[in-house]
Structure 1
């Protein structure tokens, strides 16, 4: 030891204890867990889906402003009075989204609550087939199958349900149940063809489902133009006979609303799919095959049979959508347009819902609201195409999580936070 009190090189220097001056700060383990949980939530699929909708609404607002005549007129003298342009933009966007809200949720301009709540019932009506068809697409997605054949499965299901609905006279409840089961069976068989070909021949399900869409469309169109099949007797129009009253879905909240008991069936289907995927052994095998079919095969799971079962169940769910269309929306007789684009919209709903049952349910409600509100803003002079663009943008942003994270500067789930570079002073550098 020298006279100055500094240690010699041969003497060890005691390490600074935590809490003493100059000691490094110790980060509690609980803080690390909390920060990791926050990062996983903020960069997770739920937040990404919500922000995808927000981004689509922002882009939709920009398109509404560009297409509004008042904004275009005010923009002509923007440099003279810029406030008029911003005021016109606010008026156009706020009026459009207010009209959409009043057309999809609640209309404050109606005199009574029963009349004001009608837009919400229309949203639920539009959402009914979207949800259950989305569940069918999502279930196939969870097994690793791309079910693009929702249109064909819905057409076959609707035709089977309608045929039972107008061909027989059964007691009230029994007739409706039998017609719905016929729609489920028809769509399940149609989708089962895809699963069988996938399992036995290795045919790609995307190609097969697309081809079966065309076959189903032209087959139903032919049957609607042929007497003795689906065409109404004494009619030259491609339309089926009206459904017997006992086979029609009864109204859920009264005859003044279009909402039927099919919505209750859809809620039951959502609960069933949740139980199937999360609480049953078959659902476990579905998820195992979807994660890694090779590993599932090594574990003793018959992957080929799982493909067949998955497509049968997926088609059955889409068949519920077809039955709800035939027996609830078109009781006067179905036509070739009974699918109303639901088979393809179901793919969007499944993607937005992340192929989770309750996520699909929420996504179906959102798209039902967009459909119901879209007709309202169209009545106000705004093109309905803007709503379709918004739907497409939602899918785009949901399919590109890194883009959403980059825009909102969100963390990536599972990644470690960036460590700050230590500050090196001149004194430390000199040592």
Structure 2
């Protein structure tokens, strides 16, 4: 066919779609600012967590210096001898953090290695319930749920598992497993109730978990005074002692407080990692946490995932509660058995960026703060409240990633690098 006979390309009429014209993009529901902020805080960069801890320690050092009597005395004549003030500040801060290290990791003043390593075992003992509860909170974060009901879930787990531990007679081994399973199931059911309320009625999990914390506290308090948890013949609101057949065995002997609960927490960390990263239900959890609208369009039952997520979350927090009964407070427990762990777990989950192994490391760090804080107070006279302030500052800096990025001049995630100006040579300019 000649060029004169070649048909001209046809032009589609206005408004007529063709293969080269893109139609309107399908509408995708945008996530709220709260959802985006929640995701950034709970699953952000691990570097932000490290820098948040560093900033908190720096601010803590400033507070240690300001509260130290030697620093206050030396600052009175700062302009005549400034080196004395600097030296006093260094001795106060270095002495406090050295005592923190020796009280949580290794005490160089002990005569042998067996005694020197005891602070590390105390750190791991404190960290055990923090890790378990932190894993439960982190799992909820990955599904977009803010589980702040750790206190109630721990109390219910301690009540149910504790009753099995002191009231039921079973052989050694079987008794321990029965009490452990009962405690985990108690926490799972108390957490699953929150998921069910959210799935069926749309009730916000923050409100329901707060209310259920109070319900659990007063319920367990009543049971300790007049119910099946009361010690016979005693007016003290405390349960009977755990039977020897249901107590966690010691890992390193009777001279150390570290018990089998730490091994269970390692197993729980592996299980949570597998659940979120390798299982089908974990994929659905993450899909709902990223975008529940898109997950619903893809055929995932969002309401069902909420229930399942809170069951697993409550079970992991329940592991922390039953750990206290079977491993730490075996002489009997009261209504304050949670010891603030349910709320500290939120900080651990945030610091660990809702990643199982990140939560594990964060739990050990906070266990070190708890173990070393008392040593710092005893050796250097530093108020134990300083440790609590440092923990609070970690939460503050984690909840404000833009502040951390500004201080350390970090780039904003997703921001495009500044385009460099093109180099124009004389030859190119002449053309």
- TM-score of the alignment, normalized to the shorter chain, above 0.5: yes
Deviation at 1:327, TM superposition (A): 0.8
- Residues 116-156 of structure 1, C-alpha deviations (whole Å, 9 max, x = no match): 00000000000000001000001111111110100000011
Find out whether 1:47 has 2:47 as its counterpart.
Answer: yes
Seen in structure 2, the aligned counterparts of structure 1 residues 306 and 77 have a Cα distance that, compared at 3 Å, is same
Q: Can you list the C-alpha shifts for 1:194-238, whole angstroms capped at 9, x where unaligned?
A: 011100111111000000001111111111111x51111111101
Runs of 4+ that moved beyond 2 A: 412-431
**Whole-Å Cα distance in 2 between the matches of residues 113 and 390 of structure 1?**
30
1:353 aligns with 2:352: yes
Query: How far, CA to CA, are the matches of 1:89 and 1:266 in structure 2?
Result: 40
Tell me the TM-score normalised to structure 1 length. Answer: 0.87
Instruction: Give matches, 1:304-383, under 5 Å.
Output: 304-379=303-378, 380-383=380-383
CA distance in 2, matches of 1:188, 1:390: 32
SS of the residue aligned with 1:300? coil
Indicate the residue corresponding to 2:302 in structure 1.
303
Partner of 2:407: 407
Task: Name the residue aligned to 2:183.
Answer: 183
Partners of 2:411 and 2:67 lie apart in 1 by 36
Aligned to 2:107: 107
How many aligned positions are there?
387
Structure 2, unmatched stretches of 5+, are 1-43
1:386-397 aligned at under 5 Å gives the runs 386-397=386-397
Deviation at 1:102, TM superposition (A): 0.2
**By how many angstroms is 1:417 displaced?**
2.3
Q: CA deviation at 1:426?
A: 12
**How far apart, in 2, do the equivalents of 1:89 and 1:345 lie?**
30
Residue 23 of structure 1 is matched in structure 2 by none
Q: Secondary structure of 1:172's match? A: coil
Structure 2 matches for 1:99-178, cutoff 5 A? 99-178=99-178
SS at match of 2:161: helix
- Could you tell me how far 1:337 is from its partner in structure 2? 1.1
Name the residue aligned to 1:33.
none
1:205 match: 205
1:171 to partner: Cα distance:
1.0
- 1:258-300, CA deviations, whole angstroms, 9 ceiling, x for partnerless residues? 0000000000000000000000000001111111111111111
In the alignment, which residue of structure 2 is the partner of 1:259? 258
Scaled by the length of structure 2, the TM-score of the pair is 0.87
Cα deviation per residue 1:158-178 (whole Å; 9 max; x = unaligned)?
111110000012111110000
